[in-house]
Structure 1
Amino acid sequence: MYPNLYYVFKDWFGVKWNGLSFLNTFGLMVAMGFVAAAIVLSKELQRKEKQGLLSPREEMITVGKPASVSELIINALAGFVFGYKLIGLFFNKPVDVNPQEYIFSSQGNLLGGLLLGGLLAWFKWYEKNKQKLKEPESRKVRIWPHDRVGDIIILGLIFGIIGAKFFDNLENWDDFIKDPIGRLFSVSGLTFYGGLIVAAIAICWYAAKKGIKIIHLVDAAGLALLLAYAVGRIGCQVSGDGDWGIFNSAYITNAEGKVAIAGPGEYQQNLEKNKAYFLSGQVYNKDSVLEQVTDRIYESLDKVPHKSVKAPSFIPVWMIAYNYPNNVNKDGVLMPGCDDEHCRVLPQPVFPTPLYETIACTLLFILLWSLRRKIKVPGVMFGIYLIVTGLERFTVELFRVNNKYSIFGFHPTQAEIISVALVIAGFILIFIVKRKAKTSN
C-alpha cells in the first residue's frame, strides 16, 4: 500500500523523503479524477456546441481596472493559509502527528504563511497593473458552456464534499451525535452518493443561471462522472482508506503479514486469535498496550461478515483477498519488521471492492463513450448512466460492510436504497425523453 508519496518513492526509488508524507495518494487520485472529469466534460460540451445543441452567452466584463483591495486581501489570505500549512508540514510537523490531522489543526509556519500570502498578493497586483488602462473599458464577450467547466468542477468539488459529509454523518448518526465537531472536520468519512446528489443540485442551479441547457449538460456529465469515479477509486485501493469489502474466509493473514490460503478451521482460529480486534476494534501496539484501530466492531465472532471465495488460477489472489498492508487508516495488527508511520495490516483479508469499482466504471465509461454519437435523444445518455451506476454500486454493496436500515422487513444499506432509486430514475428519464422526442417529431 502507498498511503502517501513517501511510500511510493521509498518503494520505487529507495529514497526516504519525509517531506512527501503529506501528499496523500488518495487525495492525489481524487484530484486526478477531477482533472479527468474536466477533460471529458469539456470535450463533450464542445461536441454538442458544434452540433448547435448548446449556445454561448454574451456577458459584459470590465478590463483595465487595477487590483481591488478585496482581490488583494483574498489572494493574501489564500497564500497565507497555504504557506502556513504546507511549509509547516515540511518543517514543523511533529513526527508522531498524522499529516491530515496537522492540516486541520491550528499549527503551522507563521513566516511561511506571511511570505506566501505577500507573494500572491503582489502577483495579483502585478498582473492587474500590467493590464491597467487610463480609463477602464467595458467589453462584451461571448462565453461558451465549455468555458465554464472550471467553475462547474469547483462547484462539484465544494458541494460534493459537503454532500458526502452530510450523508456520511446521516448514515453514522450515533457517531455524529457523540462528536459532531470531530465528525464534521474529520478527513475521513465521505459518502459518494451524498456528494453526487448535492453537487448535482448545485451544478444544475449554476447551469440554469448561466443559460446552459441542463439536459445536454447532464448527458456530458454522466460520462465525466464515470471516469472520475474510476480514477478516484484507484486512490481508495492504493491508499487503503478503509472502503474495502467484507472478509474473505477462504484466506487468512499469516504471521508474516501475508495472505495465505486458509486450511480447515484456520479462519475461525484466526478470528479467535484476533478476538480483541473484531469485538472491540483494539489491538496491541509496540508498547503492548491495547489501542483502538477500527470502528468496525461486531457483537460476536459469528456476526463477522464474510464469504469464502478462492481465486481462480488465472486471477491473482490479491484481486480476491487482500489485507491492505501499510494502509493509510493504520487499521489492523502490527506488521513484523516495520518501523514506519503506517505499519499495520488487516488480520483477515477482505474483498478489494475499490478495485472492482475501478474496473467496472472504466469498462462502463468505455462502453458509453463508444455509444455517445449513436444516441440522438437528449437525456437518454444520462438515463443510461443512472441505470449502470446504480446497478454497479448495488452489486458491489453485496461485498461491502455498511450500516443497514430496517424497512418493511428488508435491511438495505443507504447505498443500496439510493442505487435502486437511481436505476428507477434512469428508466423513468429515458421513457419521458423518448416519449417527448416522438411527440415533438
Structure 2
Amino acid sequence: MYPNLYYAFKDIFGLNLPGLRFVNSFGFFVALAFLAAAWVLTQELKRKERAGLLTGKEVKITVGKSASLAELLLNFILGFILGYKIIGLFLADNEQSADPQAFIFSGEGNLPVGLALGILFAGLKWWEKNKQKLEKPEERTIRIWPHDRVGDLVIYAAFFGFLGAKIFHNLENWNDFVKNPIEALLSFSGLTFYGGLICAAAAIYYYAKKHNIGFKHLADAAAPGLLLAYAVGRIGCQVAGDGDWGILNSAYVTGPDSKAVLADTSTFKQALESNSNFYLKTFKSVGVTSIDQVPHTSAVAPSWLPDWMVAYSYPHNVINEGVTIPGCVDEQYCSHLPVPVFPTPFYETVVCLIFFFLLWAFRKRLSAPGSMFAVYLIVNGIERFLVEKIRVNTKYDFGWIHPTQAELISTGLVIAGLALYFYVNRKKKATA
C-alpha cells in the first residue's frame, strides 16, 4: 500500500522525497478523477453544441482596465498560502513533514517563501492586466459556450461534493462525530460518495439554471464522466487503504509477509480470537458484541486469479487499521489486517470502467434528453447495491429489514433512473 506518494516514489524509484508525504494517494487519484471527468464532459458538451442541442450565452465584459487593489490582494493571499503551507511542507524537515495534515492545520510554515510567492503572484497579475490596459477601457460582448464553463462546473462539483460527502459520512457515523466533531469535519478521510453526488448535483443544477444551460443535456454529458471519475477515485481507495473495504474472507488468514494464506475454519476462528480486542472495537459501531458476530464469508480464488483479488490485508494502510506488521520499522504506517478482506474498491473500479465504456459506446443512440443520465442512475445504483452485500456499514433498523445508507440511496437511484428513462422516452415519442 502507498498511503502517500512519498512511499510510492521510495518503493518504485528508490527516491527519498519527504515533501511528497503531503500528496496523499487517495487525494492524488481523486484529482485525476476530476481531470478525467472534466475531459469527458468537455468532449460531450462540444458534441452536443455541434449538434445544436446546446447554445452559448452572450455576456458583456470590460477590457483594458488595470488591476484593482482587490485583485492584487487576492493574488497575494493565494500565493502566500501556497508558499507558506504547500511549498513550506516540501521544504520542511522529516519530523514536520511526517504528518502533513497536522502541518497544514498548524501555524507552521515557511514565511520567506510565502511572502516571496505572494509578491510574485500579485506582480504577475499586475503585469498581465497592465499588458492588456487600454487608454480608455471598453465594453465587449462575447459568447461563452457550455464547454467553456467546465472549469467552473468542476470547482462547484469538487467543493459541494466534498462538503456533501463529509456531511453524509458523519450522519452515517453519528456516534463517532459526536465524540470529536472538529476532527471528523477536518479529517481528509471519511467520505460518502452518494452524499457528494447529491450535493454536487444540486449545486450544478443551480449553476446550469443561472447560465441557461439545458440541465438534461448537461446531465447526459456528465454521466459517462461520473462513472469514469468514480472508477479512478476507487483506485485511490485501494492504493491508500482508506478503510472502505469489504467484509472478512474466512477462507484465508494474513501471513507475516502480509499475503493471504489459505486457512481452514479452526485457523480462521483462532485468528479472530487472538485479535478479538481489535475486531470487537472495529465492529462495535455496527452492533457486533461478540467475536462470533464478526461479518465474514468464505471464497477461495480460482487458480487463474491472484489471491489478493478476493482476500487482501491492506498492508501499510493509511488509517493504520489492524495489527502491527512483523518486522516493520516504518514510523507511521505499520499495520495490516489480521484476516484479509474483500477488496471492494478494486471491484468497483473494474465494474465502473466497464459501465463507462458501455455508456460511451451507446451515448449517441440514447437520444432522448435525460435518458443517458437515467441509465447512469440505474447502473450506478445496481453496482453499489450489490457491492454493499460484502461491505461493512452502519445499518438502519426498519423492523424486519436492516439496510445501509448506501443501499437505501442506491435503491432510490435505480427507481428514479427507471422512472426517468421511461418518462423522457415517452415524452419524446409524444412530441415526435
- TM-score bracket, shorter-length normalisation: over 0.9
User: Contact 1:278–1:296 at 8 Å: present in 2 too?
Assistant: no
Query: What is the aligned partner in structure 1 of residue 375 from structure 2?
Result: 384
Query: What is the aligned partner in structure 2 of residue 189 from structure 1?
Result: 190
Partner Cα distance (2:321, 2:91) in 1: 27
Partner Cα distance (1:295, 1:345) in 2: 20
Which whole-Å deviations, capped at 9, do the CAs of 1:343-399 have from their partners, x for residues lacking one?
A: 211111000000000000000000010001111111111110000000000011011
Report matched runs for 1:189-228 at 5 Å. Answer: 189-228=190-229
The offset of 1:438, in angstroms, is: 1.5
Which TM-score applies when normalising by structure 1?
0.94
The offset of 1:174, in angstroms, is: 1.6
Task: Say whether residues 1:50 and 2:50 are aligned partners.
Answer: yes
Query: What is the aligned partner in structure 2 of residue 304 from structure 1?
Result: 294
* 1:415 counterpart letter in structure 2: A
Query: What is the aligned partner in structure 2 of residue 338 from structure 1?
Result: 328
* 2:229 counterpart letter in structure 1: A
The offset of 1:94, in angstroms, is: 5.8
Partner Cα distance (1:115, 1:198) in 2: 38
* 2:303 counterpart letter in structure 1: S
* 1:352 counterpart letter in structure 2: P
Which whole-Å deviations, capped at 9, do the CAs of 1:393-422 have from their partners, x for residues lacking one?
A: 001101111111112421100000000000
Task: Say whether residues 1:84 and 2:84 are aligned partners.
Answer: yes
Of the structure 1 ranges 327-336 and 384-393, higher mean CA displacement relative to structure 2 is found in 327-336
Task: Say whether residues 1:399 and 2:400 are aligned partners.
Answer: no
The offset of 1:296, in angstroms, is: 7.9
User: Contact 1:279–1:297 at 8 Å: present in 2 too?
Assistant: no
Of the structure 1 ranges 405-414 and 295-304, higher mean CA displacement relative to structure 2 is found in 295-304
The offset of 1:93, in angstroms, is: 5.7
Task: Say whether residues 1:351 and 2:352 are aligned partners.
Answer: no
Identity of counterpart residues, as a percentage?
Answer: 57
Cα 1:311–1:416 shift into 2, 3 Å? same
Report matched runs for 1:268-283 at 5 Å. Answer: 268-281=269-282
1:327 alignment partner, one of 317, 320, 324: 317
The offset of 1:88, in angstroms, is: 2.7
The offset of 1:281, in angstroms, is: 4.9
3-state SS in 2 of match to 1:95: helix
Partner Cα distance (2:103, 2:249) in 1: 35
User: Contact 2:382–2:410 at 8 Å: present in 1 too?
Assistant: yes
User: Contact 2:251–2:265 at 8 Å: present in 1 too?
Assistant: no
Of the structure 1 ranges 387-396 and 404-413, higher mean CA displacement relative to structure 2 is found in 404-413
Query: What is the aligned partner in structure 2 of residue 266 from structure 1?
Result: 267
Query: What is the aligned partner in structure 2 of residue 68 from structure 1?
Result: 68
* 1:15 counterpart letter in structure 2: L
Query: What is the aligned partner in structure 2 of residue 131 from structure 1?
Result: 132
Which TM-score applies when normalising by structure 2?
0.96
Of the structure 1 ranges 178-187 and 156-165, higher mean CA displacement relative to structure 2 is found in 178-187
Which whole-Å deviations, capped at 9, do the CAs of 1:108-129 have from their partners, x for residues lacking one?
A: 2222222221211111111111
Cα 1:111–1:296 shift into 2, 3 Å? farther
Partner Cα distance (1:239, 1:267) in 2: 26
Query: What is the aligned partner in structure 2 of residue 360 from structure 1?
Result: 351
User: Contact 1:93–1:102 at 8 Å: present in 2 too?
Assistant: no
Query: What is the aligned partner in structure 1 of residue 180 from structure 2?
Result: 179
3-state SS in 1 of match to 2:396: coil
Query: What is the aligned partner in structure 1 of residue 171 from structure 2?
Result: 170
* 2:122 counterpart letter in structure 1: A
Cα 1:281–1:434 shift into 2, 3 Å? closer
User: Contact 2:84–2:110 at 8 Å: present in 1 too?
Assistant: yes
Query: What is the aligned partner in structure 2 of residue 237 from structure 1?
Result: 238
User: Contact 1:394–1:419 at 8 Å: present in 2 too?
Assistant: yes
* 1:336 counterpart letter in structure 2: P
* 1:201 counterpart letter in structure 2: A
* 1:304 counterpart letter in structure 2: V
The offset of 1:15, in angstroms, is: 2.4
Cα 1:62–1:373 shift into 2, 3 Å? same
Gaps of 5+ in 1: 283-293
Partner Cα distance (1:47, 1:205) in 2: 23
The offset of 1:172, in angstroms, is: 1.1
**Matched length:** 430
Query: What is the aligned partner in structure 1 of residue 113 from structure 2?
Result: 112
Cα 1:333–1:429 shift into 2, 3 Å? same
The offset of 1:430, in angstroms, is: 0.9
Partner Cα distance (1:172, 1:351) in 2: 22
* 2:411 counterpart letter in structure 1: V
Gaps of 5+ in 2: none
Query: What is the aligned partner in structure 2 of residue 432 from structure 1?
Result: 423
Cα 1:77–1:59 shift into 2, 3 Å? same
Partner Cα distance (1:173, 1:325) in 2: 28
